Chain A
């Protein structure tokens, strides 16, 4: 039985919840069990935001992620707050354009991706989140890159259809990025 517990954290406005929704929908597409739980406290009204995603072959028990297999940190406070909760052998994705420090732990796999800088360079400044998601998918065969367009189409409202292509561009950038 394989269960992946994912914690995505950063500032409000970075698309933290959207990235989590993307993973949850991708899991749904793969016919896995999924749960998505956002932070909804005062912090999300202009401060830090985080979301818990669980993707499993079994029905999901608690939707609360306390010991993530995967941490996506999109700012320094989030990395500092959560890095020690990652299970040994887990993965940490770091937006290295916003986080200047290295992860001290040696028992986790760390991926430094300058996602915010890459997004800005490509004129998709709000899609750093999806660059990291693209890279994450590469390391998660249970989710795979296949079918991502279907997921993005589901998530992007029809009134903003132009964003589908831009999201796909960001995902592909992340996929092709070599750490």
Chain B
């Protein structure tokens, strides 16, 4: 058996990033993700890396932009209000086609909100946040092991597609400890001929920029970028299916909500209700095909979320409204109990959505 160690979710992200070759971390503290910065502050100086606590979130994302333009594996991390501050930088990074890893360990909002776990930045992560036409690859870990493995995956995908990969976690997964192993880590490296590394007088200048004053040229960059996005949508969606073989009801949940949902599904199965789970691991690209296929099998869906119902819109789009979708939700830092999810499953079984 692989050697297992106990780690907090936040620490697992930091350790995985270092193993993935990240040597540049820029951040600003905020609960509930500060352990990431603390871990980096301790480790980076010992391995020749850079840890820098910037004067603000806005400064830190622009430092990420700079290091990314220079071809470095670079990351920042924050929690909900801090990610809002980084939104401008995320748009610039997208417009410049440079790779970065950004972690959002979500807390309740809007505004300063609270510090307890939440999933209410789903729209912000998957639909934009910053201005302009752009996407981020959004990865939603549901365990400490996935905090590590998806961080590594995130760096790989960011470099592969020259874009931001976001880890969309929540306070629970960030703070909890579980056994993890790093033995299966698959670290990919990519050539970055576009990076600003100095010409040595031997090649033309590389330019990293998001400003295009000629609309024709700007349109071309958008069309090209969306070709890439289309390819990602077709090839990179990840999900987990749980007890779906004979399911009449499909619960859709990611992150901590999926953990609670699994308890409820086990309890519902004991009552004879045929219910399963589809857990999106990538929120963008959203696993549309598997959900659309499930819509031909089940009589309805239950979207379990720590928000007022954000992913539910993507569930409806993916399933083309072929079946009803109920919402089981808590928000503001509250988490649905397995009993609350079970009640929604029972209602769905009775045809009440």
Q: Does A9 contact B (CB under 8 A)?
A: no
Nearest A residue (CB) for B115: A41
Q: Does A62 contact B (CB under 8 A)?
A: yes
Question: A25 — which chain B residues lie within 8 A by C-beta?
Answer: 6
In the bound complex, do residue A61 and residue B263 qualify as a contact, i.e. CB atoms below 8 Å apart?
Answer: yes
Q: Does B260 contact A (CB under 8 A)?
A: yes
Question: B262 — which chain A residues lie within 8 A by C-beta?
Answer: 61-62
Nearest A residue (CB) for B257: A62
Q: Does A12 contact B (CB under 8 A)?
A: no
- Produce 1/0 per residue, B167-190, CB < 8 A to A: 000011001111100000000000
Min CB gap B279→A, angstroms: 12
A60 to B262, CA, bound (A): 10
Min CB gap B142→A, angstroms: 10
Nearest B residue (CB) for A31: B1
In the bound complex, do residue A63 and residue B176 qualify as a contact, i.e. CB atoms below 8 Å apart?
Answer: yes
Q: Interface size for chain A: under 10, 10 to 19, 20 to 34, or 35 or more residues?
A: 20 to 34
Q: Does A87 contact B (CB under 8 A)?
A: no
In the bound complex, do residue B176 and residue A35 qualify as a contact, i.e. CB atoms below 8 Å apart?
Answer: yes
In the bound complex, do residue B4 and residue A62 qualify as a contact, i.e. CB atoms below 8 Å apart?
Answer: no
Q: Does B62 contact A (CB under 8 A)?
A: no
Min CB gap A100→B, angstroms: 32
Task: Choose from A24, A28, A38 the contact partner of B175 (Cβ within 8 Å).
Answer: A38
Q: Does B66 contact A (CB under 8 A)?
A: no
In the bound complex, do residue B6 and residue A63 qualify as a contact, i.e. CB atoms below 8 Å apart?
Answer: no
Q: Does B259 contact A (CB under 8 A)?
A: yes
Q: Does A36 contact B (CB under 8 A)?
A: yes
Q: Does A98 contact B (CB under 8 A)?
A: no
Given the interface pairs A24-B6, A40-B32, A66-B337, the reply to whether A60 lies near B178 with Cβ below 8 Å is yes
Q: Does B21 contact A (CB under 8 A)?
A: no
Question: B6 — which chain A residues lie within 8 A by C-beta?
Answer: 21, 24-25, 28, 34, 36
In the bound complex, do residue A36 and residue B176 qualify as a contact, i.e. CB atoms below 8 Å apart?
Answer: yes
A17 to B200, CA, bound (A): 55
A9 to B228, CA, bound (A): 51
Q: Does B84 contact A (CB under 8 A)?
A: no
Q: Does A37 contact B (CB under 8 A)?
A: yes
Q: Does A163 contact B (CB under 8 A)?
A: no
- Produce 1/0 per residue, A110-147, CB < 8 A to B: 00000000000000000000000000000000000000
A37 to B177, CA, bound (A): 6
A64 to B256, CA, bound (A): 10
- Produce 1/0 per residue, B105-143, CB < 8 A to A: 000000000011000000000000000000000000000
In the bound complex, do residue B338 and residue A66 qualify as a contact, i.e. CB atoms below 8 Å apart?
Answer: yes
Question: B263 — which chain A residues lie within 8 A by C-beta?
Answer: 61-62
A159 to B59, CA, bound (A): 36
A5 to B172, CA, bound (A): 17
- Produce 1/0 per residue, B258-286, CB < 8 A to A: 01101100100000000000000000000
Nearest B residue (CB) for A35: B178
In the bound complex, do residue B177 and residue A36 qualify as a contact, i.e. CB atoms below 8 Å apart?
Answer: yes
A38 to B179, CA, bound (A): 15
Min CB gap B151→A, angstroms: 19
In the bound complex, do residue A64 and residue B178 qualify as a contact, i.e. CB atoms below 8 Å apart?
Answer: no
Contact residues of B between 26 and 60, Cβ < 8 Å to A = 31-32
Given the interface pairs A28-B4, A41-B116, A63-B259, the reply to whether A21 lies near B337 with Cβ below 8 Å is no
A31 to B259, CA, bound (A): 21
Task: Choose from B116, B176, B266 the contact partner of A37 (Cβ within 8 Å).
Answer: B176
A40 to B172, CA, bound (A): 9
Min CB gap A151→B, angstroms: 10
Q: Does B328 contact A (CB under 8 A)?
A: no
Contact residues of B between 43 and 96, Cβ < 8 Å to A = none
In the bound complex, do residue B178 and residue A36 qualify as a contact, i.e. CB atoms below 8 Å apart?
Answer: yes
Question: B148 — which chain A residues lie within 8 A by C-beta?
Answer: none
Contact residues of A between 19 and 34, Cβ < 8 Å to B = 21, 24-25, 28, 31, 33-34
Question: A60 — which chain B residues lie within 8 A by C-beta?
Answer: 178, 259
Question: A36 — which chain B residues lie within 8 A by C-beta?
Answer: 6, 176-178
Min CB gap A27→B, angstroms: 9
Q: Can you list 9 A-B contacts with CB-CB less than 8 angstroms, sorted by A residue number?
A: A35-B178, A36-B176, A40-B32, A61-B260, A62-B256, A62-B259, A63-B176, A63-B259, A64-B337
Closest 3 CB pairs of A and B: A36-B177, A61-B263, A37-B176
Since A36-B176, A40-B31, A61-B259 are in contact, a sample of 7 more A-B pairs with Cβ atoms closer than 8 Å, ordered by chain A residue number, is A21-B177, A24-B177, A34-B179, A35-B178, A37-B175, A61-B338, A63-B176
